[in-house]
Chains A and B, each alone.
Chain A
Amino acid sequence: MLDLLLQPLSEPFFVRALVAVMLSGTTCACLGAYVVLRRMAFVSTALTHSILPGVVGALLLGFSPYLGALLAALLTAAGAAWLASRKGTSEDSAVGVMLSVMFAAGIALMQQANSWRDFAGLLFGSVVSVGSEDLLVIGVTGVIVLSGLRALHKELELASFDEEYAALLGARPALMRVVLLVLVALGSVACVRLVGALLTTALFVIPAATGVLLGRTVPQVMAWGAGCALLGGVGGLYLSYYAPAVPSGAGIVLCCALPYLAARIFAPRR
C-alpha cells in the first residue's frame, strides 16, 4: 500500500505536478470562498474559458502564454462590466456574451494555428508538462492572490456580506469587486496547466462549496476548501497515475467532488 503511494514520487514530473496542484489548489480554494459566497461562479467560468484565446493568441504572436491568458481574462472581465453598464443588458447575459465570444475566438484562432492536438492540454490540462517555469508562475500568482486576500480580508468580507454598509463606510465595494475579478483572473492562469481551461472553474467552485457547508466563518470556509482541494488534487494525481485512461484534470475535479458529496450528505445543518 505504502509502495503504491511512494512509487510515483520517484518520478520528477509527478513531484512537480504534486507541488503545482497543492499550490494552485490552495490558492483557488481560498479565492473560491468569495466566488461561491458572492455567486460569481458564472463570471469565474467566463474568465477561465477566455484563457483559451489568450494562450492561442499569445502563441501565434510569440509572447508568453501566461501573459496572453491574463490579458484575455482581464479583457473578458472589463468587457462584461462594460456591456452590463448599459441599461437593457443584465450582468448575467453580459457575462454569457463575453464567455461565448471569447471561447469562439479561441476556437477560430486554434484553426489558424492549424493544430488541434497541441491545444488539447490547454483545454483539458496536462500535468505531465508542468515545468519549473510553470511552478514559478503558479507560486508567484499564489503568493499575490493569498496576500491580496489577507490584506483586504475585512473589506472583502464586508463588501460580500453587506455591500451597502461597505459603501456607507467608504470601503468602496465596487472596487472590491474589481479586485476580486483580477484575483480570479490571476488564479485561473495559475491552474490552467493542471486542469485545463474548461475545468479550471471547478477548482474555484467545488472546494469552496464544500467549505461553505462546513465553515462558520470566512477563514474557516477557506480552510475547509483548501483541505478539500488538497485532498482532491493529490487524489486525482494518483488516480490518473494508476489509471492512465483518466486525464489528470478530470481526475482532480472528480476527486474534489468526493469530499463535497460527503460534506453534502454528512455535514450538520448549519
Chain B
Amino acid sequence: MSRAIATLSRHLSDAIFAVLPVIPYAHKEKPGCPGIAVAAKQLTAAARPDGPVAFHDATFEIPCGCRTALIGPNGSGKSTLLRVLAGLTPIRSGQVLIAGEAPRLGRSRIAYLAQRPQLAENFPLKLRRLIQMGTYAHHGWFEECRHGDEAVDLALARLGLTELAERPVHTLSGGQLQRALIARAVVQGAEILLLDEPYAALDQPSREIIDRFLFEEGSAFTVVMATHDPADLGRFDRILEMRDGTVTTRHACSGHDHRHA
C-alpha cells in the first residue's frame, strides 16, 4: 500500500517537473579569478540603511588566492564590510569589485558565513541535506536536486563529517555545524570565502580541521576572514586593519601570489 502511494506520488511529481521550465536563480558567472579578487575604491557603507556609516573611503585590494585577515575592535565595521562584499548590504558610495563584478546576490563563486548563522531552530533536516543545499547554486527554480552527490560526499569527507551525514542538524555541536556550513560553501563551488569570526566558540578538533582545510592542503581559496585572535595572524598573507571608520592595509600579500600568476 505505502509502496503504491510512493510510486504514484513519484510519477505525479515527475509529471510536475516535466511540465515546468527550469529557470536559473541568477545569471551565470564566468569561472576563474581575474587576478584581483576584491578591489575597493573610496568605499563607504553602513550596517543599516538609516544607520551611521561603519567605514568610509576604504581603498584596498585583495589578490586572488590571498588569505586576508580583517582585524579591528568590535564595531569597527568588519562584519559590514563582509556583508557588503557578499551583496547583502548595499554600499553608500564609492565602488567595489569582487571577482570582477559589483557585489550582488546569486553568485555561486562567493560564499559568506555569518558570525552567528540565523538557522531555524529544531528544523527537521539531516546534515547531508544541509550540505546538499550548496548544489542549489547549480540548479534552478522548478528543478529537482538530482546531481552533486559526489561533491557532497567529498565535502563531507574533507571536513570530517562523513559519519554525521544522517544526523539531524539540530543535534550538531557549534563546531560541527560550522564545518558543515564550510562544506556547503565548497559544494556550492565557492572560490572566495568571506568568513566572519569562524573560530568564535569552536571546539579544538573543529578548529584544527577548518584550519587545515583553509590554510593547507594546497587550497586555492581566496579567504577574507574577520578575526580577533592575534596569535592567528602569522598564517595570513595580508592584514586589513579597520579602526575609526578607516581601512588600512598592514601587510601585503607575498608568498601566495605565484599560484595565480
Q: Which residues of A contact B (CB under 8 A)?
A: 37-38, 147, 150-152, 154-155, 157-158, 160-165, 167-172, 212, 215-218, 220-221, 270
Which secondary structure dominates chain A's binding surface?
Answer: helix
User: Which A residues are CB-close (under 8 A) to B112?
Assistant: 168
- Closest residue of chain B to A170, judged by CB? B106
User: Which B residues are CB-close (under 8 A) to A218?
Assistant: 124-125
User: Which A residues are CB-close (under 8 A) to B123?
Assistant: 37, 160-161
Q: Which residues of B contact A (CB under 8 A)?
A: 12-13, 16-17, 20, 25-26, 86-88, 105-108, 111-112, 114, 117-120, 122-126, 129-130, 133, 136-137, 139, 141-142, 144-145, 168, 170-171, 184, 188
User: Which B residues are CB-close (under 8 A) to A163?
Assistant: 118
Interface residue from A147, A157, A217 paired with B16 (Cβ < 8 Å)? A147
User: Which B residues are CB-close (under 8 A) to A155?
Assistant: 136, 141
User: Which B residues are CB-close (under 8 A) to A212?
Assistant: 122, 124
Complexed CA–CA distance, A167 and B133 (Å): 13
Q: Judging by beta carbons under 8 Å apart, are B118 and A168 in contact?
A: no
Number of A-B contacts (CB under 8 A): 88
Complexed CA–CA distance, A261 and B120 (Å): 24
Q: Judging by beta carbons under 8 Å apart, are A169 and B136 in contact?
A: yes
Q: How far apart are B192's CB and chain A's nearest CB, in angstroms?
A: 12
Complexed CA–CA distance, A171 and B134 (Å): 12
Decide: A168 near B120, CB < 8 A? Known: A147-B16, A151-B17. no
Decide: A154 near B120, CB < 8 A? Known: A167-B105, A170-B25. no
Decide: A150 near B16, CB < 8 A? Known: A169-B106, A270-B168. yes
Q: Judging by beta carbons under 8 Å apart, are B124 and A220 in contact?
A: yes
- Closest residue of chain B to A167, judged by CB? B105
- Considering the complex of A and B, which 8 residue pairs feature the smallest CB-CB distances, nearest first? A170-B106, A170-B26, A170-B25, A161-B123, A150-B13, A161-B120, A170-B105, A147-B16
Return 6 A-B CB contacts under 8 Å, by A number: A150-B13, A154-B144, A161-B133, A168-B107, A217-B126, A270-B122
- Closest residue of chain B to A165, judged by CB? B133
